Structures are given as structure tokens and as C-alpha cells.
Amino acid sequence: MSELTTDRLLLRQWTDADYEPFAALNADPVVMEHFPAPVTREASDALIERVKPLIAAGGFGLWAVEVRETGRFIGFTGLSVPSFEAHFMPAVEIGWRLAKDAWGKGYATEAALASLAFGFGPAGLDEIVSFTATTNVPSQRVMQRIGMTHDEAGDFNHPRLEPGHRLERHVLYRITRVQWEARG
């Protein structure tokens, strides 16, 4: 099983106790502002079921994030393979989603750096991408803080959103193994 520890956080396998708080943050319209719609309880549970086997197998995944000091579950951060076709596929993406009261503490950045270290370390990846709606500035700031570069020519219209949707346009960020190793 893959598990990552940082100064303040534990990135771990999901437990039964995570389902309810994860559904709650997925139902929070503020957390889901840059998504087409809040995620239903059923879809929230299904996401957990989908990612558990990858973590159990010791590979990369969307890890449940826990604050070590309190043991509190605050959301997920990690690596996954996008489930849609795009010009940058095949690719592995890095992503994060935290409960609102866990924002503004540097947790997403801290968890993302550990995820990149796993991706370029044990997982042996050569490049990791990230993308989000152009409106999602907080998420882009995490991408910038962890050393990713905006590939402006790579920005794209998300194929799962109908043309003209307010969230259709997406930015694409990238980081290569060489860039990661040169970070110092």
C-alpha cells in the first residue's frame, strides 16, 4: 500500500470514516464552485471505491489527506489518469480537493509536493500535468507553487462540457522529471 508522510499531513488509504466527510465537502457549493455541479453522495462514494485499489496496490492514487496532529480527514490530493481524451493524453495528472476550512494553510501545496515526489520517485513518471477551469485561480496558484509551468498553447476546451459552458475553457500546466529534479 502506498502512504506518504509530510511535516503536517498523512496521505493514506481511504477508510470507512472518510465517506461521510468526503460527501459533505463534495456537496459544498463553495468547494465545487469551479465544477459543473456538486457531486452526489453516490458519485462521491464511487470515487473512493475507484481509487482505493490503486493505493492498495502500492501505486499512485488520489490519497485521502489527514492532518497528523488531529487525525482529521480534510480531502484528497494525488495522482490519477484522466478519463477523457485530450491532446495531452496519455498523461498522469495531479489534483487536489480540500474541505473549505482546510484552505489557506498550505496543505494542498504540501500534499502536492509529496505526490510529485512519489510520481517522479517510486512511480517513475517522466511528466505530470494538471488542469483546471480558467476561473479556478486558487488551484492554478497551487500548480505554480509546486513548480509547474503553464503550457499556454496546451489550454483546451474540456470535452465533457458542452460548448459555451462557463467552465469549458481549461488551462494546462506541466512539470517534467528534469524540471522537478532541477528544483533544488
Q: Does 132 bind ligand COA (CB under 6 A)?
A: yes
Q: How many angstroms separate the first and last alpha carbons of the chain?
A: 29
Asked if 157 and 137 count as a contact pair (C-beta separation under 8 A), the reply is no
Query: CA-to-CA distance for 7 and 148, rounded, in angstroms?
Result: 22
DSSP 163: T
Q: Does 31 bind ligand COA (CB under 6 A)?
A: yes
| Kind plus residue range of the DSSP H or E element containing 128 | strand 127-133
Instruction: Give the count of residues interacting with ligand COA (CB under 6 A).
Output: 19
Neighbours of 58 (CB within 10 A): 12
Q: Does 108 bind ligand COA (CB under 6 A)?
A: yes
Asked if 59 and 123 count as a contact pair (C-beta separation under 8 A), the reply is yes
Q: How far is the CB of 112 from ligand COA (least distance, A)?
A: 7
Query: CA-to-CA distance for 149 and 139, rounded, in angstroms?
Result: 13
- The smaller minimum CB distance to ligand COA, of residues 10 and 142, is found at 142
- The smaller minimum CB distance to ligand COA, of residues 57 and 88, is found at 88
Q: How far is the CB of 111 from ligand COA (least distance, A)?
A: 8
Q: Does 95 bind ligand COA (CB under 6 A)?
A: yes
DSSP 38: P
Q: Does 169 bind ligand COA (CB under 6 A)?
A: no
Q: Which stretch binds ligand COA (CB under 6 A): 16-24, 51-59, 92-100, 148-156?
A: 92-100
Q: Does 105 bind ligand COA (CB under 6 A)?
A: yes
Q: Does 97 bind ligand COA (CB under 6 A)?
A: yes
Report the interface residues with ligand COA, using CB under 6 A: 31, 34, 95-98, 103-109, 132, 136, 138-139, 141-142
